[in-house]
Structure 1
């Protein structure tokens, strides 16, 4: 894989900024509403809105995005990816739908929910059953 320094810098800087924004937004919302789940939900929803706005700005109707441009890498891959991966999942599913691939889009939704939740539960149970959790 031949990845340029500019690519790595764009994604790295954006990812760092996205992670810091995620912490700030999630913590602020959780403090206001009393539970971390609301902070996570706020991050996921605002991240999806942001990636939708950016995709709408960068992608002309009927065109494939220029996913290797430094600005796309910084904002979409870096900031949105560091802020929330739900936004990437949502954009990829929307892309499938826009391309007329409704079946694969639905499979992506179902498989992501089932497999990701299951993997989280399995990981938790594996560690918890070994006494690693208090």
Structure 2
């Protein structure tokens, strides 16, 4: 795959991943209390697990790049998780902010590790 074709595939896959992130975040958010950003937690944990699986299963460098960097890179979001932690802190929910920040990091690393382990 040429560089331009790979870049285009990553862009399209990233856009699709971003749309899925919105759908999952909205779906989970509508089913929770709204006091904690469970939607983005669900996105980041499932995305971390799937990135681990993709890296472990996909031997082809281009396919791995499109799936892991493109689709799952668009699906997961560290910046939104960071913003959610900051918003919790600004609302006076310091304990939840720390739990969210630390918990997200620990659980996401564990999920990626599990995905790699399973492959």
TM range (shorter): 0.5 to 0.7
- Say if 2:3 is the partner of 1:8: no
Per-residue CA deviation, residues 65-111 of structure 1 (Å, 9 max, x unaligned), is x64x1x1222111011101145xxxxxxxxxxxxxxxxxxxxxxxxx
Task: Report what 2:40 is aligned to.
Answer: 40
Greater than 3 Å deviation, 4+ residue runs:
none
- Aligned equivalents of 1:43 and 1:12: distance in 2? 19
Secondary structure in 2 matching 1:20: helix
**Structure number with larger C-alpha Rg:** 1
- Aligned equivalents of 1:73 and 1:13: distance in 2? 12
- Aligned equivalents of 1:7 and 1:74: distance in 2? 7
Task: Report what 1:49 is aligned to.
Answer: 49
Segments of structure 2 that go 5 or more residues without pairing to the other structure are 87-119
- Aligned equivalents of 2:11 and 2:28: distance in 1? 26
TM-score normalized with structure 1 length: 0.52
What is the Cα deviation at residue 10 of structure 1?
A: 1.3
C-alpha RMSD over aligned residues: 2.6
TM-score normalized with structure 2 length: 0.58
- Aligned equivalents of 1:73 and 1:85: distance in 2? 17
- Aligned equivalents of 2:64 and 2:9: distance in 1? 9
Equivalent pairs counted in the alignment come to 81
